[in-house]
Structure 1
Amino acid sequence: MSSAQDPTSGSKVVDLGQRQDPRNERLGDLLLSVRGIALKRLQALVGTLFDNVDDALFDLAEKAENNAAQTQYFDGMREVRKKRPLVERLFVEQVTRGIGDFATGRSRAPRPADTPSSGTAAAELSLVDDSELEESLAITSMVGKAESRLARALFAVNQRLSVISGGNKVEDATNPIGPAMLGQALRGAMRELAVEVRVKLIIYKLFDRYVMGGLDALYDEVNAELVRSGVLPQLRHGVQHRPGMPAAGQPEAAAGAAHAAGGEAYLQESADLQAELFQTVTALLAARRGMVRGGAAQSYGGAASLSPAELLGALTLLQSQTATLPLPANLPAEAYQSELSAVQHLKDQLMGQIAQLSGEAKARVSGADEDTIDLVGMLFEYILQDRNLPAQMQVLLARLQIPYLKVAILDRKLFAHKTHPARRLLDALADAAKGWSEESDRDHRLLDKVRSTVEALLRDFDDDLDIFPRLLADFQTFNEAHRRRAELAEQRAAEATRGREKLQEARRRAAREILSRIEGRDLPALIHGVLTRPWANYLVLTLLRQGEGSQEFRSALQFVDDFVASAAPMPDEEARNRLRALLPQIEKALRHGLATVAFHENDVKRLMAELSAFYRRQLGLAAEGDAPDAGAAQAQAVPIPDSVEPITAIEEDTTELAEPRGDAPALRAARELKVGTWLELTDEQGVRERAKLSWISPISGRYLFVNRRGLKVADKTAQQIAAEIEAGTAVVLEEVPLFDRALDAIVERLRQAQAERQAPSGA
């Protein structure tokens, strides 16, 4: 046999059948999209992980039980700082390679080299290095915990990846962006770190916290992207019995055969679910129509039913009349009420228009068309009551009732198929409108774009459904350009907030270090002023630039100890000799610190002169006529500019960042908010603003909110958000697409109405 027949023998062998299948190009695009989302999210999460490694290792070093352990942690800090770029790059490369292997069908469940197979002799187990075993156990533990916590979202990702890979079975262990694969990618990258196993275990623990803990948003975004592309949009997130797994009593061979249908079976299941929902709606509408007409004369009896063409003609006339009405630039209450009335009475206007055109007193539409008219009416009534949409956007979108009624008559798939272009357009308009506010759209770009899209449909749509894909593509291009601009602004807002928090944390650390050394001591004003003002600033800068594990920071703290000791009384010559030996070190360190904080040269000279006089008095070398009282008065006039903030002001307000406590529903809801969630916030003046949760601080846990332009709106603690949710001044907006929410609400409304009508007869 030639080697070309071996599927693993060469990448140049191409399956011509695959190349001729036009679907493969789209599936490849979907995998590229998944890869882009995954790499972007994972790079950010791994960056956060390594941002916290240094602090964690330093804290452990400070609390180490002996010098050997402390040395291991400090060595680990240096090694991680040196190798961090390499480890991050290797991790991303391993993930990218895993996705590539998945795309080509070569992916396998990770099997660590140290994990004994079932056939391994017991004696071989003893050859496994203890440190390797500890790493394996750490990875197995965090992967198991993540897979359990993320079971629902992970199941959905598995099924959708199965669809876009041509029906190949995807499980947690073979998912290229699943916890198991990510854990092994980290382990491979960590081999570059020459550190003790205890340091590696700390990094694994932080990986669990910052990367595994942040996978929710990754899987939600991947699922949302694939749903938008029509991959299992109505998938039910069942996890007890996954497709392809044998049920009780079902042979495994049968289960495998059932899974062989692959992506087409899943897509068919999704289509069936959509059809089932639409059938539920139409059955409820038909039942309602029958019950209403059962007790009263039919409104349009005695006349022949209109054909769809006649119905569309009447709707086109009404549409042309609506197109001539100006769309409101702002929103007086009358405009809202006018639109609500127009939506509710469209059916009456339509029947009047039909009667006028036919010249008959009565006109009748078929039962199916009447149900369609009612269903579209309910859809747009829902839009006018949807809390997700600002009132201005509700009014604009309500104008689309007639075009969408025409679509529903022309193509019954509007309500049955989630990927229908008209449905996707309305969902896209509503999703963009969710984040709109007057403040965030001062240039009216979004408002004008939505208005122009509505006007184009009212003006140009007759019966050619191709207008919807064109308008959808145009709106998506507009939205994507805005999204890129907003993302840059979001990043700047997050970086600015992160910088401020790091500064505040450094100021608090500096305050604690200095106050712990001077509390309870009666220091001269000169010494106290130097420590609590310029030297405090130097400590802050050193923390931010060098880190608390640096030699420079330790030297700065040593200066504080020496400086405080130099102010103590000198009872004998031995103490004065020690001070004489210390003074050159004090002067050198102080001049370096003052230069670092850009202390003005004249202020440095004045300060050094004051310190020189102080130390002469300490050493008993005061000049003649320099009375003690005069020296004390001179020391009170500390030669430090007022612009240098004292340490006492830095230490204020540290309780605000405390970890939220309690288990109230509102607090749970606040803690469960995910990055990307939109809220409507109302301030004390009653002004409403739409804000997206953009970033959660790993330092303080505070939530950063931005508007749709990416500009900061607020940053709040979980407790503050919980209090606002309870008070009703913060409302979490729905993430489910508009059409889906509306259909669910319509079904519930129809069922409730049916139950109310049936109640008297059952009494």
Structure 2
Amino acid sequence: MQTAVACHYPASVQGNVTQNVSFLSGANVSNYPLGAANATRTDPFRVLEEVKRLTLERLGGLPGALYGPIEDALALSATHFERNAFQYEDQAALWSLRHQQAAQVMRYRQQLAKGFDEFRTMRAASRRGFLSMGLLDEAQLDMHIAGERMAEVLSQRYQKPLEALEARLHVLAQTLGLQAMVNPVGPGRLATAFVDAFDGVRVPGQLRSHLFQFYEDHLARTLDELYGQADALLAQAGYGVTREGSKDVAPHVAPGSSGGAALQQEPGQDVTLDELRSLLHAWREGTVRPENVPASHAPQRALQGRRDLRVEEVVSVASLLHGEPTDTFARALAGTGELGRSIRERLGEGARRLGLSPDHTTIGRDSEDAIDLVAMVFESLFATQDLHERCRRLYARLVLPYVKVALGDRALFDRAEHPARKLLDAITEACAGNNAETPFERELFERAALSAQRVAVEYHENMAVFEQAFAELDALLLQQRQRVFLQEERAAQAVHGRERLQHAREQADAVVGRRLSAQPLCEAIAGFLGTSWRHHLVQVLLRDGVDSARFAEALALGDALAEADMLAARAEGRALATRLLTLERTIVDCLASSGLDDSAAQHGLVSLVRGLAWPDAPRSVHALPPRIEAGDDGEDRKLWLAGGTDTVATLAPAMVQSLRALAVGDWLRLKNADGVLVNAKVGWISPLTSRRLLVNDRGGRVLVAAVEELAALAEQGRLHVAPPPRAFSRALAEVGERLRRAGS
């Protein structure tokens, strides 16, 4: 199957620069504060070239270096499982790729270098280029989707070093006079380079998974050092920020901003487990206002003779309850806020069965933390995600397994790539907004339910259950991501088509308006120019463009008709007849572009000739008549601003600049007209108007707006920068905000 889409992704230098990096060979992080700057800065082009050299030195040997580990992984897989047709296909494809590795490495290096060229010239490649629309088979589309997913993972993993490095690169970009920049060694650029290295190559699914897994692993071992060296190099070359007092300080700079009111991160995103537990303890122990603490989270006061249950004992109790009905959890997820209490009650019942009487035991503080955090994360998922009622039973099955994970592994709340987090993210991706209206949606929901059931039955402190359930569900989710990708493409093309039409109309109106007002014209000529010729100009502009020969011919037709009208006014019948004969075919073609058949076009020509037959007909200059077009999308051009457009002119330049620097694929959180927070991604940037198309998780259009309109929303607190919408991470951030609000 092939799908029509457009897919594009988001000599050593001598002198003091080279000397400055001679000591960096073993550095993992910069020893320089962000603001450390020399009195003078090194030539920015030389510094950028040195960062490029470092990048090519560290990464330039890929992807050829991956094939050995991949071959070992395929061989190991073959020893544990019966060989099948897919394994033979992977082996054959790997053999073919290894014979092309020189070309792949060359393309990869070229793409890495291209990132630095785009930085210098501010020609960041758009992911979508409608002029290069072509056929892309599903295997290639899968490569692009896998690349985007890997870029999201790396962006989260290296968030802090990326922020520091990009702040320095922003200063360097300003030195070059650039208003915006895209990090040439950012995860998006590295993913794009890798995908483009396999352009035109079909990679089977299992082999593709290994390729990205080992590429990501290689980057994980390399990027700490690369980012540290690049950061130190930029610092030593003087690309920091101004000093504040006696210290160099790093500003909170959004991409592309120059200080002032810049676009801010969504509140609550930078939350740590230690901070959550501290807030949770204060909340649960009553040091905040008592009315903010529900009874379900009231602390179990230590009584005489009671001991804290060990974590192992609580896990054993939870394991005892694995196969039992979870109706109480499902009811608690209906919005009552009682999930924590329900979990405690069930654990209390299980403890009695094991002979652990509540008269002599109590749940310890660490176990309380695990129970409360899991309960609040699950409650937050239902508060922030578009989950239907039928999802409650599915999630209820997962409550106790996730309590067990939280009891024994704090990494559940610390590490975004934890297998249990990845599975919950995948289940939420499958269920959120899923109305089960199509066979595919029903299959997706059923697969998610089976994954939940599998974990509920099979999890006994072995994380492989989560990994296997995730792998099976993620394989089906890949099809959904393809659908989302294509939905984004359709939304972008629809907006682009309307913008092209509007732009062509405006160009045509300007031409026709000048022609009608240039000289007195009879009604017949003025009417033809204001209707049929006007429509013809629009069609030619859309199909051939303003620089085409056809457009020049169309313009010449208007001028020729105006000259014909002058001949008619002077009663020069012979010259008029000759002129009309030479224009006959062109006039008929013009009329035909309005949808008239040959007969109707000939009739229109006769009417035009008849109007020129009277020299004494009244003539005057004409105004451009109002346009009447079917399907005009006036709604699309309306500003979506709560306060109207009066405040747009007073926006802070830094805010506008921050938003202008957002690239395709960047995520935001947007409060819509109904006051509901929604995830929104920059899906496309118009090459005509620079408007941004924002799409949701499912690829549907959320908003089409100018940067100034988005800045107005940001200043109202309705728009924030946000990380990629991973369900568990967002729920955890919401828990942190909820606890902070309770303590304020």
Common fold: TM-score over 0.5: yes
Change (3 A) 1:243 1:366: farther
Work out the CA distance in 2 between the residues paired with 1:110 and 1:456: 44
Contact 1:323–1:458 (CA<8 Å) still a contact in 2? no
The answer to whether residue 323 in structure 2 is matched with residue 320 in structure 1 is yes
CA offset digits 1:695-718 (Å, max 9, x no partner): 222112333344555454554444
Change (3 A) 1:657 1:578: farther
Deviation at 1:477, TM superposition (A): 0.9
Deviation at 1:522, TM superposition (A): 4.2
AA at the equivalent of 1:313: S
Q: Partner of 1:389 in structure 2?
A: 385
Deviation at 1:483, TM superposition (A): 1.0
AA at the equivalent of 1:499: G
Indicate which of 691, 715, 731 corresponds to 1:702.
691
Work out the CA distance in 1 between the residues paired with 2:679 and 2:232: 43
Work out the CA distance in 2 between the residues paired with 1:227 and 1:19: 9
Change (3 A) 1:221 1:433: farther
Work out the CA distance in 2 between the residues paired with 1:108 and 1:389: 40
Contact 1:301–1:364 (CA<8 Å) still a contact in 2? no
Contact 2:340–2:372 (CA<8 Å) still a contact in 1? yes
Q: Percent identity over the alignment?
A: 22
Aligned to 2:614, what secondary structure does the other structure show?
helix
Change (3 A) 1:511 1:361: closer
Work out the CA distance in 2 between the residues paired with 1:144 and 1:710: 25
Contact 1:435–1:690 (CA<8 Å) still a contact in 2? no
AA at the equivalent of 1:649: I
Higher-Rg member (1/2): 1
Q: Partner of 1:135 in structure 2?
A: none
Aligned to 1:698, what secondary structure does the other structure show?
coil
Indicate which of 294, 299, 304 corresponds to 2:302.
299
Deviation at 1:357, TM superposition (A): 3.6
The answer to whether residue 654 in structure 2 is matched with residue 675 in structure 1 is no
Deviation at 1:506, TM superposition (A): 1.5
Indicate which of 394, 399, 402 corresponds to 1:401.
399
Work out the CA distance in 2 between the residues paired with 1:302 and 1:25: 55
Contact 2:420–2:466 (CA<8 Å) still a contact in 1? yes
Work out the CA distance in 2 between the residues paired with 1:441 and 1:348: 39
Work out the CA distance in 1 between the residues paired with 2:338 and 2:724: 28
Contact 1:343–1:401 (CA<8 Å) still a contact in 2? no
Indicate which of 702, 712, 735 corresponds to 2:724.
735
Contact 2:377–2:731 (CA<8 Å) still a contact in 1? yes
Contact 1:322–1:458 (CA<8 Å) still a contact in 2? no
Q: Partner of 2:252 in structure 1?
A: none
AA at the equivalent of 2:529: L
Contact 1:534–1:597 (CA<8 Å) still a contact in 2? yes
Q: Relative to structure 2, which stretch is displaced further, 657-666 or 496-505?
A: 657-666
Work out the CA distance in 1 between the residues paired with 2:527 and 2:346: 82
Matched residue count: 540
Where does the alignment leave 5 or more consecutive residues of structure 1 unmatched?
1-15, 27-92, 112-137, 147-155, 165-170, 181-204, 249-275, 329-333, 619-627, 636-644, 757-763
More helix by percentage: 1
Q: Partner of 1:414 in structure 2?
A: 412
Contact 1:694–1:705 (CA<8 Å) still a contact in 2? yes
Q: Partner of 1:531 in structure 2?
A: 529
Contact 1:435–1:692 (CA<8 Å) still a contact in 2? no
The answer to whether residue 524 in structure 2 is matched with residue 545 in structure 1 is no
Work out the CA distance in 1 between the residues paired with 2:234 and 2:523: 80
AA at the equivalent of 1:506: A
Indicate which of 649, 660, 665 corresponds to 2:628.
649
Change (3 A) 1:598 1:143: closer
Work out the CA distance in 2 between the residues paired with 1:221 and 1:437: 33
Change (3 A) 1:719 1:433: farther
Contact 1:314–1:354 (CA<8 Å) still a contact in 2? yes
Work out the CA distance in 1 between the residues paired with 2:692 and 2:232: 41
Q: Partner of 1:583 in structure 2?
A: 580
Aligned to 1:347, what secondary structure does the other structure show?
helix
TM-score by length of 1: 0.55
Change (3 A) 1:215 1:615: farther
Indicate which of 651, 669, 675 corresponds to 1:663.
651
Contact 1:547–1:553 (CA<8 Å) still a contact in 2? yes
Work out the CA distance in 2 between the residues paired with 1:613 and 1:243: 77
Aligned to 2:361, what secondary structure does the other structure show?
coil
Contact 2:636–2:704 (CA<8 Å) still a contact in 1? no
Work out the CA distance in 1 between the residues paired with 2:66 and 2:191: 29
Aligned to 1:390, what secondary structure does the other structure show?
coil
Work out the CA distance in 2 between the residues paired with 1:284 and 1:326: 24
Deviation at 1:586, TM superposition (A): 2.7
CA offset digits 1:201-242 (Å, max 9, x no partner): xxxx9xx99996999893497799889957659999997975
CA offset digits 1:269-322 (Å, max 9, x no partner): xxxxxxx95567678878999999xxx995255245545553223213444344
Deviation at 1:564, TM superposition (A): 1.6
Contact 2:335–2:379 (CA<8 Å) still a contact in 1? no
Work out the CA distance in 1 between the residues paired with 2:123 and 2:570: 68
Q: Partner of 2:607 in structure 1?
A: 610
Q: CA RMSD in A?
A: 6.0
AA at the equivalent of 2:548: S
Work out the CA distance in 2 between the residues paired with 1:483 and 1:391: 18
Work out the CA distance in 2 between the residues paired with 1:654 and 1:568: 42
Contact 1:657–1:702 (CA<8 Å) still a contact in 2? no
Change (3 A) 1:579 1:222: closer
Q: Partner of 1:472 in structure 2?
A: 470
TM-score by length of 2: 0.56
Contact 1:435–1:691 (CA<8 Å) still a contact in 2? no
Aligned to 1:568, what secondary structure does the other structure show?
helix
1:195-234 pair list within 5 angstroms: 218-219=188-189, 232=220
Where does the alignment leave 5 or more consecutive residues of structure 2 unmatched?
1-63, 75-100, 126-149, 159-164, 195-211, 237-270, 288-298, 640-644
Q: Partner of 1:374 in structure 2?
A: 369
